[in-house]
Structure 1
Amino acid sequence: MLKRFFILCSGADANILAECSHGEQNKYVGIGATVFFTALMAFIASSYALYTVFDNYFAAAFFGFIWGLLIFNLDRFIVSTIRKKDNFTDELLQVTPRIILAIIIAIVISKPLELKIFEKEIDRVLLEQKNDFTLANKEQIATQYTPVVSSIDQEINSLKQEITDKETEVNTLYETYIAEAEGRKGTEIVGKGPVYKEKRDKHDAALTALAALKKGNAQKIADLEAKKAQLATEYDDQVINSQPVIDNFDGLMARVNALNELPWLPSFFIFLLFLAIETSPIFAKLLSPKGEYDFKIQDIEDEVKTWVMQKEAQRSVVLNTDHTINDKVYQDLTEEEELYEYKKKIAREMMKKQQDAFYKRQTGIL
């Protein structure tokens, strides 16, 4: 049963192959087994690749099975359509398009398996890329808030500097009226005279203004700090909300790009392995001599071709004969007097009717 299944996979005619030797049958069993296991590997590879897309086992297995059937059908078609010829150059030209198609299939099959084989290394590359994306994302989001925060900081510093300047002015006034009282500056008269009182009142007014300024600026600074804290919260929220996009950056395309970051030699050897598997049935048929099955197939095809050519030749002869007979029949009819008189009578009546119709039309115009 397994032997019949592999012969089915090879695309060979089971009835014709049953009449061939066991060696010939075993050759096609091997070709069919290669086709089957290539399709099986295609199913496994595509299922893994599609799982990274759908993140669902059933969907990945279903579409992977469809892909495996497609590869199976293509490989079976490639092998079954190769015909042995008497000229190796003709055979090579015949299989060249099929080899190109086999190379494409090998690339498609090997790439998902490379992703699975080098999964740990790919995860490391993806982790590095995610970290870079996270830092870049934070910097990009920060560019939206940095100018506003800098403006708030400048405004806060300006309010604080305003208080500092006012405190300096108050301290200067305090030093002035104390020096006046001690007689060190101003009138240089010890005691609390009119000048002292004037300077003291000026200091007290400045001190009251300083208290009011501190109270007002403290409220403004508190509002600005609250706004700054709100901007910091919005920044953190944007970073948190955008992080899942970066965390999910491990799809099929991302993994393929990460694989390209790894050394190419291991991936190349895996590709060569699948290329060898994919093209082995083609080269087996190309390099092997004509077998019993090939001669039988060629005999059947030549028989059908000869029969078709015979039928086409017979149809051509029948058509030519019919033309000859028709020419002779019509030639004989031209010599019959009865047919001549009958057609002459009809022509005379037709001409009379034409003349009558022309006369009536001309009369109506006049």
Structure 2
Amino acid sequence: MLQRFFILCSGADNSLLETCSKGEQNKYAGIGATVFFTAVMAFLASAYALYTVFDNYFAAIGFGLVWGLLIFNLDRYIVSTIKKTGRFSNELFQAAPRLILAIIIAIVIAKPLELKIFEKEIDRVILEQKNAFTVENQNQIATQFSPEVDAITNEIDALKSEIATKENEVNALYDIYISEAEGTSGTQKLGKGPVYKEKRDKHDAALADLQALKTTNASKIEALEAQISTLKTNYDTKVADTQPIVENFDGLMARITALDTLPWLPSFFIFLLFLCIETAPIIAKLLAPRGEYDVKLSEAEDELKSWATQKAQQRASLIKADHILNDRVYGDISTEEELYAYKMKRARELMKQQQEAFYKSQTKVF
């Protein structure tokens, strides 16, 4: 049963192969097994690749099965159409398009399995990329808020500087009226005279202005700090909203890009392995010697071609003979007076009817 299944996979004519030796049947069963397992590898590789895209087992298995069947049908067709003529150059010419296609398919098959084999190394590279993207994303978002935050910060610094300047002014006035009271400056008279009172009033007025300025600027600073807090909240919200995009940066293309950053030699050997697997059916057919089945198949095709050629020649001879007979029959009939008189009579009646119909159509116009 298993041998019959693999022979079916090889694309060989089972009824013709049954007339051949057991060795010939085993040879084609081996070729069919190669075709089958190549399709199985294609199914596994494509299913894993599509799982990384859709993250769904049913979709991955469904599309993987379609891809595996496609590769199976393609390999089976190519293997079955390579004719063993005994001339390797001719057989290689037949297989050349399939070999080119095998390289493309090998790349498609090998890449997903490379992603699985080097999964841990790829995860490390992707983690580094995510960290870099996170910092870059935060910096880009910060550039949207930084000008406004800097402007508000400068405004707060200006308000604080205004308070500090006023405090320095009040402190200076305080030192002046104290020095006046101590007699160390101004009138240099010890005691609290009129000048002292004047300078004390000036200090008190400046102190009152300072208190009012502190109150006013404090409310302004509080409002500005609230704006900065709102901007920081908006910044954190935007970072939180965009972070999932960075975290989900682990799709198929991202993983392939990460794989390309790893050393190329291991990936190259894996590609060679799958290239060998993918070309195995065609190589097996090319390396297989011309056997009993190939001879019988060639004879059957030659018999069919001979029979088709004979039938075509017979049809051509029949058509030629029929033309000759028709020419003779119609030539003999054309000389009979009775047929000539009858045809003349019918032609005369037809012309009369045509003239009457033309006359009626003309009289309708007037």
Using structure 1 for the length normalisation, give the TM-score: 0.93
2:55 & 2:349 partners in 1: Cα distance? 90
CA deviations on 1:31-76 (whole Å, 9 max, x unpaired) are 1111111111112212221221222333322322222222211111
Aligned AA for 2:50? Answer: L
What 5-or-longer segments of structure 1 have no aligned partner? none
1:210 & 1:121 partners in 2: Cα distance? 65
Deviation at 1:231, TM superposition (A): 1.8
SS in 2 for 1:250: coil
Larger mean CA deviation between 110-119 and 185-194 belongs to 185-194
> Alpha carbons of 1:359 and 1:117: their partners in 2 closer, same or farther (altered >3 Å)?
closer
Query: Counterparts in 2 of 1:22-41, with a 5 A limit?
Result: 22-41=22-41
Structure 2 residue aligned with 1:283: 283
> Alpha carbons of 1:110 and 1:175: their partners in 2 closer, same or farther (altered >3 Å)?
same
Query: Counterparts in 2 of 1:167-316, with a 5 A limit?
Result: 167-316=167-316
> Alpha carbons of 1:279 and 1:354: their partners in 2 closer, same or farther (altered >3 Å)?
closer
1:214 & 1:13 partners in 2: Cα distance? 102
Deviation at 1:160, TM superposition (A): 0.3
Structure 2 residue aligned with 1:122: 122
> Alpha carbons of 1:17 and 1:147: their partners in 2 closer, same or farther (altered >3 Å)?
same
Deviation at 1:20, TM superposition (A): 1.2
> Alpha carbons of 1:336 and 1:118: their partners in 2 closer, same or farther (altered >3 Å)?
same
> Alpha carbons of 1:83 and 1:224: their partners in 2 closer, same or farther (altered >3 Å)?
same
Structure 2 residue aligned with 1:13: 13
Aligned AA for 1:316? Answer: A
> Alpha carbons of 1:345 and 1:252: their partners in 2 closer, same or farther (altered >3 Å)?
same
CA deviations on 1:170-204 (whole Å, 9 max, x unpaired) are 11222222333333333444443333322222211
Aligned AA for 1:278? Answer: E
1:232 & 1:357 partners in 2: Cα distance? 101
2:107 & 2:148 partners in 1: Cα distance? 52
What 5-or-longer segments of structure 2 have no aligned partner? none
CA deviations on 1:301-324 (whole Å, 9 max, x unpaired) are 112222222222222222222222
Aligned AA for 1:337? Answer: E
> Alpha carbons of 1:325 and 1:265: their partners in 2 closer, same or farther (altered >3 Å)?
same
Structure 1 residue aligned with 2:66: 66
Deviation at 1:232, TM superposition (A): 1.7
Aligned AA for 1:289? Answer: P
1:117 & 1:194 partners in 2: Cα distance? 96
Q: Sequence identity of aligned pairs in percent?
A: 67
1:284 & 1:164 partners in 2: Cα distance? 92
- Alignment: residue pair count: 366
SS in 1 for 2:20: coil
Structure 2 residue aligned with 1:342: 342
> Alpha carbons of 1:29 and 1:353: their partners in 2 closer, same or farther (altered >3 Å)?
closer
> Alpha carbons of 1:205 and 1:270: their partners in 2 closer, same or farther (altered >3 Å)?
same
Using structure 2 for the length normalisation, give the TM-score: 0.93
1:170 & 1:27 partners in 2: Cα distance? 109
CA deviations on 1:70-99 (whole Å, 9 max, x unpaired) are 221111112111111243332221110111
Q: CA RMSD in A?
A: 2.1
CA deviations on 1:200-233 (whole Å, 9 max, x unpaired) are 2221111101001111111111222222122222
Structure 1 residue aligned with 2:158: 158
Question: Post-superposition, which runs of at least 4 consecutive aligned residues in structure 1 deviate over 6 A?
Answer: 360-366
Structure 2 residue aligned with 1:131: 131
